[in-house]
Amino acid sequence: MNLSLPFHVADGMIAGHRPMERHLRDVAAAFADQAAAANLAADNPLLYYVTMIDEHNGVGALHYALGVLLPGKVGAEYYMTKGHLHAWRPAAEVYIGLAGQGMMLLEHAETGECSTAPLAANTVVYVPGHMAHRTVNTGSEPLVYWGILSSDAGHDYGAVGERNFRQVVVEVDGQPVVMERADFLARLEAQR
């Protein structure tokens, strides 16, 4: 049993473990600007990779994952993760930022209440249970972070896949801005 694992902040790799990669086409449906996503589909750039350590299981055990979200945008919307709820809704999670600059979008599964939290080097974020969570890279360097959660949490991508998040993080005049998706879509429509 591995109780100690060396990892490298510089590239977000854990020795002896192969990360799971997500490319644009895996996440394309989540981006508001579908025309911009379609333009990038042929290149299908890598958006992020995650190494999940899920070898410890049972009551009280923890899973933990090292994520690397690359810098970039689809239209004006920053690169982001698919986002998910935990299958066991009450399960919370702690994110520890190691490098880069970004934020998390949080949205309550039942009440729809939205909040944002900065996630960056030297920042820790507590994600309460019942909150869908998505990571967004608003900087120019890779955003590297640990996520630590109960081994019983599980990942549920279904609800987020259907509803998406109510808010988007987009670049306006060179700055990251959190906006209602509906307002951003109206802006896009007005520009066409």
**Which residues form the interface with Zn ion (CB under 5 A)?**
93
Contact partner at residue 14 from Zn ion, ligand S6P, none, CB < 5 to 8 Å by partner kind: none
The shares of helix, strand and coil residues in the chain, as percent rounded to the nearest 5, are 15, 45, 40
How far apart, in whole angstroms, are the C-alpha atoms of residue 151 and residue 87? 11
Structure tokens at 136: 């967004």
Q: What would you report as the CA-atom Rg of the chain, rounded to the nearest whole angstrom?
A: 16
What's the closest the beta carbon of residue 18 comes to ligand S6P, in angstroms?
A: 15
Compare residues 9 and 126 and give the one whose CB is closer to Zn ion: 126
Compare residues 77 and 93 and give the one whose CB is closer to Zn ion: 93
User: How wide is the angle at C-alpha 120 spanned by C-alphas 150 and 4, nearest 5°?
Assistant: 45
Compare residues 93 and 107 and give the one whose CB is closer to Zn ion: 93
Compare residues 24 and 91 and give the one whose CB is closer to Zn ion: 91
What's the closest the beta carbon of residue 192 comes to ligand S6P, in angstroms?
A: 30
Question: How many C-beta atoms lie closer than 10 Å to residue 192's C-beta?
Answer: 5
Contact partner at residue 130 from Zn ion, ligand S6P, none, CB < 5 to 8 Å by partner kind: none
Strand partners, 88: none
Q: What does the binding site for ligand S6P look like in residue numbers (CB under 6 A)?
A: 22, 50, 65, 67, 81-84, 93, 135, 147, 149, 155
Give the residue at shortest CB distance from Zn ion.
Answer: 93
Compare residues 8 and 155 and give the one whose CB is closer to Zn ion: 155
Own/partner long-range contacts of 38-46 (Cβ < 8 Å, ≥24 apart): 40/74, 45/70, 45/72, 46/21, 46/22, 46/70
